[in-house]
Structure 1
């Protein structure tokens, strides 16, 4: 019988992996759950069946059945919530009534603007503009900075959201050109900017790097990166989709972390748990122009208040919980990495998210995940992606409110049940 165990040294030796071109998905193929993207066309869901239709080997469960299974779980190791959406909408309305808040008109209103000011102050900037999506906010930031500098090149990490998940919008809509800086295997550093062979108008940095399992540069490396951009007169933008989770690693205020960036975007549905929306922060003139570009992008929703309320009512509790989530992630990854069949990236974990690599096939692990969900009521992974290493798959886990009262040892045991599929 084939030995399914894989040592860390063996895994790291397999074509220079854990990152780099071996895990580089084809454009548009990135798995929505954070696993490395599957081969194009593979794993298409079967036709939807009623939730009680059962799961058989010959008929893979549909997305609707997966959603039904997840809703039936009492704990989750994957990002997202098992809660019913309708209940969240009711909570938003009740919270607004308790706060005696009135709605806005196209983003103009005391409540929306007060929340913008609050986030700007938290991150150490003069002003902020609420955006319906992070993609919109980041495109606007890159466009304004390119127009100001007259240089339309944007330095990015090879795994940047701009180039993997936005259908080339930076190029198609704004005629910007991406320049890859540094290797996939580590975060973007000052030396990558200093050694760039092309003139750069802007550098966009993701903190933390999602496709590296939430890795971050050290404080000294981050400081050097800011200095390198300043010396080259390059604008520095932060893709802070998961910035909130980075604070425990640095042990500094959000304003300290953001100082030296010209603009920052943060998300309100990742980790915070809001129904959507993002914030773009920067200088007063920059934000004034951002509001014009939000209108040009069709982002001036008639009422933003429901999105803002969802973020505002969740932000403080979410930020207070993050240090505990990071602590639990460290304990959980130590338990998982103790099994020689499991490889965790990064190790030690730096935020509350991480990637896990296993030997086997995505289909087998998906079937076993669903079995665990039915039997143990634990959603142990969002999905599994085939890496470019034959026989190695990956999945992304995140410790958050979805884990609930499930203990670390229980969570590890539930996840390791996946290995029964191999």
Structure 2
């Protein structure tokens, strides 16, 4: 459990964006609604939500997109439909797929589809991983970027080869694009270029965008309409989506415009970490505005260091930290957002030096 009061007292905060209080968030939403004459949607019908769905679909290069209350619901629904359309054949997913790691076996227990773990959990797919699967696949799901391995991505050439492979196999190609907005800067491509060749794409409205929650699923109009019906069947038919759409819409353009800056700041941070070889960084070259930092101390010691630096130096380095594979090691994810973007270079370097000394 994070100590919100301790974080608030820190003047040097590394991860993410400055956290707004509920009062600040709701006041900003109310002002934006007033300025833009926003009315509630009713069960997903309304000018604001429909225009936002059209906007996201156009950005991704698809005919249609539909709001979903959660990415968890959006992803399994997309893969369920793809597998049903192809006779119940399995979907291929990377071992670090969000569906395997964070969704409590919903795809199995709720009877959505069968899944195969394909590839090495410590690196992104290449097309050879998929070519080695002898089974007839209904769907292939790929995360861009891959959060559990530090935001890595397949090379552009491998990604294009995977698209061709899926098409030649007649498999539905689905993207977990929860952080697709972030990957665009790393690839140096538009999100539409990255999404070209996919049959469906899920994007988050709260991770990099900073909304209250929610997701979009893009695809063909027929596919999106079928998915929307399944969202209703699964309890996703909330009467007003407007709070989620407002919270995302009011900062959507600004967040997308800032992604290249976040990526450049990540490159700066990556370079600064070279001065502290005790801290191992994954990936070797940033692919998005996120990194995993691997530490030569146990998780318990890392948490103690975090508290000490916050109390004594006003520095908050990370939120959650996990046990490493080796004994007495740990690692944490660092998402680079407004906090690091606005931090003076000297202060960033000083904080890293203090952290590195604490690790010894």
Query: Displacement of 1:175 after TM fit?
Result: 4.1
Greater helix content: 2
Structure-2-length-normalised TM-score: 0.96
Q: Which residue of 2 aligns with 1:310?
A: 247
Residue 188 of structure 1 pairs with residue 128 of structure 2:
no
Q: Which residue of 2 aligns with 1:385?
A: 322
Residues of 2 paired with 1:118 and 1:144: CA distance?
A: 24
Point out where structure 1 has 5 or more consecutive residues left out of the alignment. 1-62
Query: Displacement of 1:80 after TM fit?
Result: 5.5
Encode CA deviations 1:300-346: one digit per residue, 9 max, x unaligned.
11110010011111111111111111111111111113212111011
* Secondary structure, counterpart of 1:223 in structure 2: helix
Residues of 2 paired with 1:212 and 1:328: CA distance?
A: 20
Residue 73 of structure 1 pairs with residue 10 of structure 2:
yes
Residue 111 of structure 1 pairs with residue 48 of structure 2:
yes
Q: Which residue of 2 aligns with 1:166?
A: 103
Q: What's the Cα RMSD here? A: 1.5
Give the conservation status (yes or no) of the 8 Å contact 2:14–2:336. Answer: yes
Residue 234 of structure 1 pairs with residue 175 of structure 2:
no
Give the conservation status (yes or no) of the 8 Å contact 2:320–2:332. Answer: yes
Encode CA deviations 1:50-99: one digit per residue, 9 max, x unaligned.
xxxxxxxxxxxxx36x1221223344322454321221121111111110
The change in CA–CA distance for 1:373 and 1:399 in structure 2 (over 3 A counts) is same
Residues of 1 paired with 2:214 and 2:13: CA distance?
A: 23
Give the conservation status (yes or no) of the 8 Å contact 2:265–2:341. Answer: no
Encode CA deviations 1:129-161: one digit per residue, 9 max, x unaligned.
001110011011011111111134110111000
Residues of 2 paired with 1:291 and 1:304: CA distance?
A: 13
Residue 406 of structure 1 pairs with residue 343 of structure 2:
yes
Q: 1:225 aligns with which of 162, 168, 171?
A: 162
Query: Displacement of 1:281 after TM fit?
Result: 0.4
Query: Displacement of 1:285 after TM fit?
Result: 0.1
Give the conservation status (yes or no) of the 8 Å contact 1:365–1:418. Answer: no
Q: Which residue of 1 aligns with 2:258?
A: 321
Encode CA deviations 1:219-273: one digit per residue, 9 max, x unaligned.
1111000000000111100000110011112222211110100000001111111
Point out where structure 2 has 5 or more consecutive residues left out of the alignment. none
Residues of 2 paired with 1:421 and 1:253: CA distance?
A: 39
Q: Which residue of 1 aligns with 2:313?
A: 376
Please, which moves more after superposition, 144-153 or 235-244? 144-153
Structure-1-length-normalised TM-score: 0.82
Q: 2:25 aligns with which of 84, 88, 94?
A: 88
Q: How many residues align?
A: 359
